[in-house]
Structure 1
Amino acid sequence: MLSRRAALRFGAVAIGATAAAAGAAGCSSADDDRAAEPDPLLTALDAARRDADAAAAAAAVTPDRAGALAVIAAERTAHADALATEIARAAGEDPTLPSATTSAAATSAAPITPPTIDALRSMLAESQRGAAALARSLDGYRAGLTGSISAAVGAQQAVLLR
């Protein structure tokens, strides 16, 4: 025969286990749905890497604008790093370790044809619009990150490529 205290303890454990199982079942289906969709920041990450590579290539063949183009390349690389860190964090990875997102970029770097200043300006304008649209569709830190990137790319066009 169970004592009253043991019966209450057993009941509390049973209720807690049932609630935990129900909660885990509910969370796993939501996590599965999110895992099936690609991270929306991947497009901004690709654009940042593309812009950084293009600016670096243009700096190599445009010595009179090399300083400004090097700044753009460095800033867009920093944007790519911040986006990759956030993507890894959201995926449950350790952002301090190399991930598939950062490894793929390092191994797939192919020589790029240097764009003209006008072509780079167009690329940056496209990236700015994409980041602004993405910021409006997100919330919290991710919205702030992409909004900040959009503003920085706008400043690059207006100040560095004037």
Structure 2
Amino acid sequence: MEIPSRAGSSWRRRDLLRLFAAAPAVVALSTACTAEPKQPDALLALATAAKEDAALAKAVAAAHSDLADAAGEIAEVRAAHARALQREIDRVNPPDPDAGPSVPEARPRQAPGSSGAAAEALRGALRQAQDRAAGLAPGQSGYRAGLVGSVSASCASLLEVLG
């Protein structure tokens, strides 16, 4: 009785080993070529809020003379935050020139009717910005962590300016 030969088989042991050895490389290359959906920049919400806060502070400064100095300062500082965050967002993810700014412009704001309500609206916006930035800072690295941390600290200082 003759033992069937393996030499006549279309798949030899070496061929199978090569196939299995190449499989991880094929998977890695095919995964690298697929387009993953781009996650929005973590700083985008901070920059948008900074623009919104600046618009609110400008409206408060225009409507309430007793808050004009503090609200004007808040508007300037929050606009500077928005610009700095915008620059960092655009540095990491250069924007498409045809798509417009990566951080949307603030919608027009109207100041609350009374000075007390206006001051409280500014305080609430600054507290929220401070908390959001403080929560985001530990997840960032290098310059971005410092930028976000200084935005948080600056918002805390602005709360003191507002009184």
| TM-score, normalised relative to structure 2 | 0.70
- Structure 2 unmatched runs, 5+: 1-24, 113-117
Quote the offset at 1:93 in angstroms. Answer: 4.6
Q: Percent identity?
A: 41
1:3-152 equivalences in 2 (<5 Å)? 29=32, 33=36, 36-93=38-95, 99-102=100-103, 104-105=104-105, 109-115=106-112, 116-152=118-154
Quote the offset at 1:100 in angstroms. Answer: 2.4
* Residue equivalent to 2:162: 161
| Contact in 2 for aligned 1:88/1:99 (Cα 8 Å) | no
Q: Secondary structure at the match of 2:40?
A: coil
Letter paired with 2:162: L
Task: Report how many residues are paired.
Answer: 131
Hey, what's the Cα distance between the residues in 1 that align with 2:32 and 2:90? 20
Answer 1 or 2: which has greater helix percent. Answer: 1
- Structure 1 unmatched runs, 5+: 1-21
| Contact in 1 for aligned 2:129/2:152 (Cα 8 Å) | yes
**Deviation digits for residues 52-82 of structure 1, max 9, x if unmatched?**
0111111111111201111110110010001
Letter paired with 1:161: L
Letter paired with 1:45: A
| TM-score, normalised relative to structure 1 | 0.71
**Deviation digits for residues 6-32 of structure 1, max 9, x if unmatched?**
xxxxxxxxxxxxxxxx9xx97x949x5
What is the root-mean-square deviation in Å for CA atoms of aligned residues?
2.8
Quote the offset at 1:136 in angstroms. Answer: 1.3
* Residue equivalent to 2:14: none
Letter paired with 1:112: R
Letter paired with 1:75: V
Quote the offset at 1:110 in angstroms. Answer: 3.5
Hey, what's the Cα distance between the residues in 2 that align with 1:134 and 1:99? 26
**Deviation digits for residues 123-162 of structure 1, max 9, x if unmatched?**
110010001111111111111000000000000001x111
